[in-house]
Chain A
Amino acid sequence: MSVVELIDVRKHYMLGETRVEALRGVCLHIEKGEFLAIAGPSGAGKSTILNLIGCIDTPSEGRVLIDGTEVEHLSDRELTRYRRQKLGFIFQSFNLIPVLNVFENIEFPLLLRNSLTRKEREKTVMHFIEEVGLADRLKNKPNELSGGQRQRVAIARALVTRPLIVLADEPTANLDSETGHRIVDLMRAINEHEKTTFIFSTHDEHIMEHARRVISIRDGLITGDKAKG
């Protein structure tokens, strides 16, 4: 069963008085456990697809199904709960909470869920901190970390609730290429260990090489869908 289904999805918005067609009829099916890159130049519609899958935007036309649920009709509160339960986010600019340290940032989604005991939370957080190799940085605040370290924290935060899908919007865009490669390697390793579905957008050719499936998009339309091995 597909964890993500986009059926003839269109998205347009107004930029001043200009109508911008961000997506012009996109159909996409993503299976559980995929490690998928959405590739394309800036303005192609990569982020729009991620936003729709991430339930932080709604389509102008068409249907979006996440884990079999049509999400475009859910209320703001239901969408928020849905994101909390099913999705993890990795942002281009890391988006850590500046006043929380590494441990607390990763713990944050669990506290919002409020479903684990303190001990269970600590154990889960420590598992993912070790997974991303930041066990020696527990007490550091985001501004005391390098870009790569911050993105590792963001990855751990996205994974800590064991979501169905992790969405990463250009996760390497603010990192140097070596760090970017390491981050993608880490995401891929976690994808293999945890069987979590990873969907990330990129326009970096080298990063695309790590993906098992690459969806190419241009001018709001899917122009290619390549699966590897």
Chain B
Amino acid sequence: MLIFKIALRSLLRRKSRALTIGALVAFGTLLLVFGQTFTRSAGIASRDSIINNFTGDLILYSERSKEKPSPFAFNTPLPVIPEVEKIRAYLETLPQVEAVVPFAQNYAIIQTQKDGKSVELPFIFYAVEPATYRRIFRNAQMRQGEFFGVEGGVAGQGILISEYQNAQYQKNYGVTLAAGEAVTVLGLTEGGSVNALRSKLLGLFEPRYFKNVFNYINFVDIQSYSALYNFTGVAADSLPESLTRGLEASAGNEEAIFDLAKDADFGKLNLSSLRSETLSGYTMIAVLLADHGSVDQVIREVSAAGLGVKAARWDEASGFFARIASALQAFIILATGLIFLIVAFIFMNTLIINIVERTSEIGTMRAIGGEKSFIRRLFLAETLLLNIPFSLGAMVLSLIAVLAAGRSGLPLPDSISQYLIGGGALPLRLAAAPFLEALVIVIAVSVIATLYPIRVATGITPLAAMGERAA
């Protein structure tokens, strides 16, 4: 009680110094709490935006692929996933799985006419199963036409392009496409041939989230896509037994291959019994989970199931965009760290000035029986009595700011919002962690900044009381 009384009154005696330090501590706390709340909220909003509109919680892709899936980038298409339906059926047996959305990413050329001349337009797209994709991912707001007619309207096969893409066509090629217009889509197959598909522009859309990426991504229905890229194969159940033996032998030694000559059935192989099968061409399967926390468990289960696919978490699949919030958080932590470093330095110097001014007082306390521990506790109490209330005050201000912004979300400039959270206002989420972290940091910085001044203070001997002017 005595210590707190002296500490508090000593602070009040040097109000302007105390206010300067307190203001710095408050500013640091405000930056820390609000900054952490902002970045945590941005991290959550960004994650939700990516998971619920583009990737799900994880993306499955062919185990033959050397690259990770990157639906946010325009890389070389990944290898096609075989037996998508088998994988889908397996995933649907897992209790954690809420939805399964297969899709492919590829590029093609749209051929159209302008003034009687053929114009070729670049076209990056997702090939989707329209009903499934639309039910889960709502990132396309239709401006003209319908999303493949899955929400009423006329169902159909064809393509959708973004309004921005259309504007770019106009800007760069002098061509504007309109919903309902017939187009020819040209695709370069893996074999090197160019396939042409008569198709139709079913509509124009505007992306809701991450426009800076998805303005360039368009849609094709999966049937059109499979036809365009010749995704056909031989149905496994139509392969004759002898062919299977032959294929197995070809993987063995030369002797096994020569032995095939002795196989009478192999010699009579009838290829007319083979039945062709249309493959989907899907390169990625987005898996949405009921509980985001079960991602690792689902990845383990899928890997163990031997489905011929690998899994990437949503943040691995979304690259740069998943890391913006973390980068911002790191920046805020760095900035706050710098501020607290400055606060600690100023505070330490101010305390040393105080101690020098109070040499006689400290010496007197020591002379009349105050132990070093008393002096230590006195200066620690002064530090905490100053810093904690200012820090708590800043926390209250942060709380008010978070609550005020919480209802409608914190409005952000669209360009920033698009990069940070995919677009729109940022809903600030109140959490105890930033407040507790700030309190711990303020206490830690206060204690650390007080260590050296305390050493100076406890080094003052009672002799200092003898010859100096005091009260």
Q: In the complex, are the beta carbons of A109 and B368 less than 8 A apart?
A: yes
Compute how far the CA of A57 lies from the CA of B2 in the bound complex, rounded to whole angstroms. Answer: 27
CB under 8 Å from chain B, chain A span 86-140: 88-89, 91-100, 104, 108-109, 111-113
Verify if A80 is at the interface (C-beta below 8 Å from B): yes
For residue B470, which residue of chain A has the nearest CB? A95
Contacts of A84 in B (CB 8 A): 368-369
CB-CB nearest 5 A-B residue pairs: A84-B369, A99-B9, A142-B471, A56-B462, A98-B471
Query: Nearest residue in A to B364 (C-beta to C-beta)?
Result: A95
B residues apposed to A, CB below 8 Å: 2, 5-6, 9-10, 12-13, 360-361, 363-372, 374, 461-463, 465-471
Is A191 an interface residue when CB atoms closer than 8 A count as contact? no
| A99 touching B466, Cβ below 8 Å | no
Q: Which residue of A lies closest to B7 (CB)?
A: A99
Interface residue? A76 (CB, 8 A): yes
Considering the chains assembled together, what is the distance between the CA atoms of A77 and B371 in angstroms? 7
Could you tell me if A97 and B471 are in contact, using CB atoms closer than 8 angstroms?
yes
Chain A residues proximal to chain B, CB less than 8 Å: 47, 51, 54, 56-57, 76-77, 80-81, 83-85, 88-89, 91-100, 104, 108-109, 111-113, 142-143, 150, 157-158, 169
Task: Give the residue of B2, B13, B365, B470 whose beta carbon is less than 8 angstroms from that of A94.
Answer: B470
Q: Interface SS of chain B: helix, strand, loop or mixed?
A: helix
* Residue in contact with A93 in the complex, picked from B2, B9, B360, CB distance below 8 Å: B360
Contacts of B371 in A (CB 8 A): 77, 80-81
Most buried by A among B369, B371, B462: B369
Residue of B nearest to A143 (CB): B471
Give the residues in chain B near A100, CB-CB below 8 Å.
Answer: 5-6, 9
B345 to chain A: closest CB distance in Å? 26
A95 x B5 contact (CB < 8 A):
no
Given A80-B371, A112-B370, A142-B471: A97 touches B361 (CB 8 Å cut-off):
yes
Cβ-defined partner of B361 (8 Å) among A51, A85, A98, A157: A98
Q: Roughly how many angstroms separate A91 CA and B360 CA in the complex, as a whole number?
A: 11
Q: Evaluate contact between B6 and A99: CB separation under 8 angstroms.
A: yes
Can you list 23 pairs linking A and B with CB atoms under 8 Å apart? A47-B466, A47-B467, A54-B367, A56-B466, A57-B463, A77-B372, A80-B371, A83-B369, A85-B369, A89-B364, A92-B467, A94-B470, A95-B361, A96-B470, A99-B5, A99-B10, A100-B6, A111-B2, A112-B368, A112-B374, A113-B369, A143-B471, A157-B368
Shortest beta-carbon distance from A146 to chain B in Å: 13
Known: A56-B461, A80-B371, A109-B369. A99 touches B364 (CB 8 A): no
> Contacts of A94 on B, CB cut-off 8 Å?
470-471
- Closest Cβ of chain B to A54, distance in Å, is 7
Chain A residues with CB under 8 Å of B365's CB are 97
Q: Which residue of A80, A81, A92, A108 has the most chain B CB atoms within 10 A of its CB atom?
A: A80
Contacts of A99 in B (CB 8 A): 5-6, 9-10, 12-13
CB-based contact A104/B471 at 8 Å: no
B465 to chain A: which residues have CB within 8 Å? Answer: 56, 89, 91, 95
Known: A56-B367, A97-B365; 7 extra A-B contacts, CB below 8 A, are A47-B467, A56-B462, A57-B463, A84-B368, A89-B367, A113-B369, A158-B368
